[in-house]
Amino acid sequence: MAAAGAAVAVVDVDTAGAAAVVAEIEARGGSGIARAVDVSDGEAMRAAISETVGRFGRLDILDNNASAFDAWVADDIDVVSTPIEVWDRTMAINVRGPMLACKHAIPLMLATAGSGCILNISSTAGFLGDVIYVAYSASKAALQALTRSVATSHGKRGIRCNTIATGLIATEGARRNLSDAQFEAYEQSRLVVPVGTPEQVAELAVFLVSDAAGYITGQTFVVDGGAHAHQPWYTLRDVVHPQAVQPDGGTGALAPG
């Protein structure tokens, strides 16, 4: 968004990481501020948004991207075994955080810009059941519902709100928390072989908050290399559909992207 001309307030619990992003923005001629904020802290979120408007004069875009990506990996299993603290913390960061940000940003968007665009980064984990990530999945489904509610309640006042549901993306968090074997296993369900990059998500994010997407709101956009575009038994296709033409002539390996 900075590359597209936006002044950006980078808000993260990772103070050094946020400062590094702002330094990169400034090195390329843009402007930004970095603030250490836990997104589940209502007063800190209100103050950061207010300070952003004070610094830049207006608020046009809110991108809710922070996620409890480290907290949930180890202990977020199923509904019986997941500690209630993990459930609560996941919901606090992934649902309460975006709700607080919308709550404090929307009045300032309308007051300073007369309109606004909100983007919530959810996940394809919000669509389907799994044997792990009960809290994370529920939180991302809730975020998709929040997106539709915000789009509906404030659409006629000039607020657009959409969500990008990503599949596996090779971010720092994913690389830190998933093994090479897990990366390879997820590859079997994708129709595009090279794992997605943060830049590929950012391309859609910038489009969705731009005027070019002015007629689009309340929607969920999937960026997952086609992993949720097919029947669940696709990965077993040489067994269940042996008559089908296999991508590689039958060995089960996927064709290069």
Q: Which of 50, 65, 188, 200 binds ligand NAD (CB under 6 A)?
A: 65
The SS3 call for residue 59 is coil
In order of 49, 91, 124, 167, the CA distances from 128 in angstroms are 34, 18, 7, 12
Asked whether position 40 contacts ligand NAD by CB under 6 A, the answer is yes
In order of 66, 144, 171, 242, the CA distances from 127 in angstroms are 19, 10, 21, 28
Asked whether position 121 contacts ligand NAD by CB under 6 A, the answer is yes
CB of 207 to ligand NAD, least distance (A): 17
Total of residues contacting ligand NAD (CB under 6 A): 23
**Contact assessment for residue 124 and residue 166, using Cβ atoms and an 8 Å cutoff:** yes
* H/E element, 253: none
CB of 54 to ligand NAD, least distance (A): 20
Asked whether position 216 contacts ligand NAD by CB under 6 A, the answer is no
Q: Which of 19, 21, 30, 38 binds ligand NAD (CB under 6 A)?
A: 38
The SS3 call for residue 105 is helix
Can you name the residues that pair with 8 across neighbouring β-strands? 32
CB of 214 to ligand NAD, least distance (A): 25
Q: Which of 7, 13, 19, 73 binds ligand NAD (CB under 6 A)?
A: 13
Q: Which of 109, 146, 169, 205 binds ligand NAD (CB under 6 A)?
A: 169
CB of 224 to ligand NAD, least distance (A): 8
DSSP state of 196: B
Which residues, including other chains, have CB under 8 Å from residue 138's CB and lie 6 or more apart?
91, 126
Cα separation, 217 vs 242, whole angstroms: 42
Pick the stretch among 32-40, 54-62, 80-88, 145-153 that binds ligand NAD (CB under 6 A): 32-40
Residue 93 class from Cβ within 10 Å (0-12 exposed, 13-18 middle, 19+ buried)? buried
Compare residues 68 and 141 and give the one whose CB is closer to ligand NAD. 68
Asked whether position 184 contacts ligand NAD by CB under 6 A, the answer is no
CB of 32 to ligand NAD, least distance (A): 15
Cα separation, 34 vs 57, whole angstroms: 16
Asked whether position 33 contacts ligand NAD by CB under 6 A, the answer is no
Query: Residue number with the shortest CB distance to ligand NAD?
Result: 173
Q: Which of 166, 208, 209, 225 binds ligand NAD (CB under 6 A)?
A: 166
The SS3 call for residue 182 is helix
Give residues in contact with ligand NAD (CB under 6 A).
12-14, 17, 37-40, 65-69, 93, 121, 123, 166, 168-169, 171-174
